[in-house]
């Protein structure tokens, strides 16, 4: 185990992410996290005042690189339709490649803890959602931008959330989970609708 202060904090966060993803906030204790990391409980509390502080930090750590990548896809001089396509492709790839982060978000939505959800909205997802809302205004001013931004996220998220069920439904093919295939489908649906309107 690495022992420098900075490395230990990173180790804690990177160990906590899959633990929270698989067991949920209420399903894992600080003692278990400390034991899994290989530190004492006092060391863990030296870095994080309580489990909620560790949890929010773990979510922010898991999302940090993704936020930069997604923000870059929305911060171009491309037309709004091209920005949407870039964002959806990026989002699909990130969710596909990091199921732990997606599980963290799903678990948090199911737990429905008002305090933690508010902290996540304000401390983890605020900037990216604001950028996506701005893009939504440019895509089609006739839509409510908040609802459209939520729909964009929801179309991608639910596709991956439903894989355990969809794999048993008729017509499901392995390529249906390919991030490029999903991104093309979602982008086409958002820009053209079912009837191509």
- Give the pLDDT score at 147: 97
Residue 83 in tokens: 């920005």
Nearest Cα neighbor of 146 from 175, 121, 124, 178 is 121
For the chain, the domains span 60-192
pLDDT score at 197 = 55
The two structure tokens encoding residue 114: 């008002």
pLDDT per residue rounded down to tens, the chain (197 residues): 444 454 588 889 999 999 998 888 889 999 999 999 888 889 899 999 999 999 989 888 888 878 888 888 888 889 999 999 999 999 999 999 988 888 888 888 888 889 888 888 887 788 899 999 999 999 999 999 999 999 999 999 999 889 999 999 999 999 999 999 999 999 999 999 877 65
Q: Helix %, strand %, coil % for the chain, to 5?
A: 75, 0, 25
CATH class of residue range 60-192: mainly alpha
Q: Inter-axis angle of helices 51-74 and 126-139, to 10 degrees?
A: 30
**The model's pTM:** 0.80
């Amino acid at each position: 185990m690495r022992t420098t202060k900075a490395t230990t904090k990173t180790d804690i966060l990177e160990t906590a992410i899959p633990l929270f993803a698989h067991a949920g906030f209420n399903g894992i204790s600080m003692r278990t996290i400390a034991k899994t990391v290989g530190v004492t409980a006092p060391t863990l509390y030296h870095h994080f005042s309580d489990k909620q502080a560790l949890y929010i930090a773990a979510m922010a750590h898991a999302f940090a690189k993704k936020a930069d990548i997604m923000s870059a896809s929305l911060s171009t001089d491309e037309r709004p339709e091209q920005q949407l396509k870039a964002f959806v492709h990026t989002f699909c790839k990130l969710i596909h490649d990091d199921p732990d982060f997606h599980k963290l978000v799903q678990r948090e939505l199911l737990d429905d803890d008002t305090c933690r959800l508010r902290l996540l909205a304000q401390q983890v997802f605020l900037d990216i959602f604001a950028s996506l809302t701005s893009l939504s205004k440019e895509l089609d001013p006739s839509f409510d931008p908040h609802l459209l931004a939520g729909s964009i996220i929801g179309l991608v998220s639910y596709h991956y959330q439903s894989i355990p069920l969809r794999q048993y439904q008729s017509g499901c093919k392995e390529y249906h989970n390919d991030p490029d295939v999903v991104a093309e489908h979602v982008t086409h649906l958002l820009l053209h609708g079912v009837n191509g309107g």
